């Protein structure tokens, strides 16, 4: 694990805000909490470009943990967890309404009940 404060002077490759404002703002908040003004040297429009630029030595990037779970391997890239709290990410479920299965119906009913019981934070 690495503390983000140890990376204060490093160049960063970052996802464009217009592509994913919630992610971008959450990462800027993470930097702010660490007392860092990130030195962003490149903006990208997708995760593979971000990781490719890191592999070419253009900078480092903070990427979703799902890239680690996918066991993504690319020469010149090392995935290291950040110390501290995780940045929340919005999950989305997509489906084709013409192919609704009984399992999907049960899931949607359960998710609807669960979400209705949550209070906003």
Domains and their CATH numbers in the chain: 4-69 (3.40.190.10)
Q: Is pTM, for the whole model, over 0.85?
A: no
Q: How large is the average pLDDT for residues 78-88?
A: 79
DSSP 67-97: HHHTT---TT----PBSSPPPP--------G
Mean pLDDT lowest for which of 16-30, 36-50, 79-93, 98-112?
79-93
| pLDDT one-digit tens code per residue, 4-63 | 999 999 999 998 999 888 888 988 988 998 999 999 999 999 888 998 999 999 999 998
Q: Which helix (H) or strand (E) holds 121?
A: none
């Amino acid at each position: 694990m690495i503390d983000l404060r140890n990376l204060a002077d490093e160049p960063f490759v970052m996802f464009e805000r217009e592509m994913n404002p919630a992610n971008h703002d959450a990462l800027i908040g993470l930097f702010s909490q660490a007392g860092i003004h990130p030195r962003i040297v490149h903006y990208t429009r997708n995760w593979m470009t971000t990781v490719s630029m890191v592999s070419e030595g253009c900078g480092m990037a903070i990427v979703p943990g799902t890239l680690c779970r996918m066991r993504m391997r690319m020469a010149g890239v090392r995935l290291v967890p950040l110390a501290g709290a995780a940045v929340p990410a919005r999950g989305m479920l997509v489906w084709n309404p013409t192919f609704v299965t009984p399992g999907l119906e049960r899931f949607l009913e359960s998710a609807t009940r669960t979400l209705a019981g949550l209070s906003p934070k």
